[in-house]
Structure 1
C-alpha cells in the first residue's frame, strides 16, 4: 500500500473517532468477555500499557483491584480520553499509534513493560509497514519475558456487520490501492459515520508476529452472540 492511501485511511478513522467518540464510548460501557478473561489473568504486580485504550475501562478495572504497578493508556481520540480521565490510579496520554515508534522513549518504563495490550485496535492500522513499525516498537518496550495481548475484530463472522460494508468510492479511495481484506464499514448511532478496518486471519497475524520477532503462544475466539467476533492472541518475544 502506498503511503498516501495509508494516510487517507488513517484520516478516515481519525475523523470517525473524533466525531463519534462520545457515541462510541457509550456503546463500550462494559468489557467484552474476551477482555474480561484477560483481565482475570493480570496480576497486581505487573505494569500494563494499553495501546488504543479508548475510554479506559480496562485499565480502570485493573486499578480498582488494588494494582501496585504503573498503568498507562494511550489513544488519539480526545472524546474517548475525556471519559478515560475519570479512571483513578491510571495515566492516560494522547498518542497517535501510527507515530508510536517516534514517541516510544516517552512511553517506556525501566526494564520494560510486563504486559502490553492492544484490544480492537490493530485492525484500524493500515498497511503492513505501519503495523510492523508498531509491533516492533511493542517488542522494543516490552520486557524480554513480557506478554503482548491483542484482539482483532472478526466482523466477517457476522451477517449484520457484513451488511455494513460500504463501497470505497464513498470516500474517494481506489480499491486497487488497498490491501486484501481492507474494508469500509458504516456506523449508525448518533449519525452516520464511516471507518476503515482490516479483517485479520490467524495466519496473517502469525506472519506479522514472526516478522516482528515475536511468537504467538495462545489464541482464542470470543465476543458477540456467536462467541467469535474477536480473535484474541498472546505474543511473546522470540
Structure 2
C-alpha cells in the first residue's frame, strides 16, 4: 500500500473515533460476550495493558470483578478517553493517549521497560491499514508482554454479517480506488447519531495467526463470539 493511502485511512479512522465518540460509546455500553470471556480469566492482581481501550468497557468490567492490579488503557481518541475517565476512577487505573500507528507509541507511563501479564487488543488490528504497519505494531506490542504473559486479540469477522455487508461503500467516497488498498480491506459507513466512515481489514484466521508468529508468539486458543450468530468477532490468545 502506498504511504499516502495508508495515511489517509489512518486519518479517516482517527477522525471517526474523535468526532463520533459519544455515538460510538452509546452503542457499546456493555462488553461483548467475547470480551467477557477473556476478562473473566484475568487474575485480580494481574497487570493489564488495554490497547485501543476506547471508553473503558474492559476496565469497567475488570472493576466489577474486583480487579486491583495495575491497568493501563491507551487510545488514540481523546474524546473516548474522556468518557472512560468519567466512567471509572480508581488508584489502579490509568488512561493515556497514544496512537499505535505512531513510531513512539510505546513511550508509555512507566517507560518502555513495562511488561504486562495481560495485553488486550480488542477490535484494533483491523483498523490498521497496510500489512507492514500491522506487523510492526504487533512486534512492538509483543515487547510489552511479560515472559509468561498472554495477549488477547480480536478482529471483526464482518463477512459473516449481512448488516455490515450492506454498509460497505466504494473507495471513491474518500478519493481512493480498489487499486490503492490491499485485499481484504473495506470501507464501512456509520449511521447512528451522525454519519461517518471507517476503514477495516478482514482477517482470515491464518492471517491473524501469522501476525503472532512474525512477532515470536504462538496462538494457544481461538474462538468466535459476538454479533449475529455469535460469529462477528474472531478472538485469539497469544503467548510466547
Identify whether the pair has TM-score above 0.5, normalized to the shorter chain.
yes
1:220-231 correspondence to structure 2 within 5 Å: 220-231=223-234
Could you tell me which residue of structure 2 aligns to residue 118 of structure 1?
121
Shift of 1:218: 0.3
1:50-89 correspondence to structure 2 within 5 Å: 50-86=50-86, 87-89=88-90
How many angstroms apart in 2 are the aligned matches of 1:202 and 1:40? 23
State whether residues 48 and 120 of structure 2, in contact with CA within 8 Å, keep that contact through their aligned partners in structure 1: yes
Could you tell me which residue of structure 2 aligns to residue 216 of structure 1?
219
1:168 aligns with 2:178: no
How many angstroms apart in 2 are the aligned matches of 1:48 and 1:140? 14
CA shift digits 1:31-74 (9 cap, x unpaired): 00001111110101210000000100211221233323110100
State whether residues 45 and 70 of structure 2, in contact with CA within 8 Å, keep that contact through their aligned partners in structure 1: no
Secondary structure (helix, strand or coil) at the match of 1:55 reads: coil
Could you tell me which residue of structure 1 aligns to residue 106 of structure 2?
104
1:145 aligns with 2:148: yes
How many angstroms apart in 2 are the aligned matches of 1:111 and 1:91? 14
State whether residues 123 and 155 of structure 2, in contact with CA within 8 Å, keep that contact through their aligned partners in structure 1: yes
Shift of 1:177: 1.6
- RMSD over equivalenced CA pairs, Å: 1.4
Could you tell me which residue of structure 2 aligns to residue 40 of structure 1?
40
Could you tell me which residue of structure 2 aligns to residue 23 of structure 1?
23
How many angstroms apart in 2 are the aligned matches of 1:225 and 1:197? 18
State whether residues 63 and 88 of structure 1, in contact with CA within 8 Å, keep that contact through their aligned partners in structure 2: no
TM-score, normalised to structure 2's length?
Answer: 0.94
TM-score, normalised to structure 1's length?
Answer: 0.95
How many residues matched? 236
Deviates further, 213-222 or 101-110: 101-110
Runs of 4+ in structure 1 off by over 3 angstroms are 107-111
Could you tell me which residue of structure 2 aligns to residue 154 of structure 1?
157
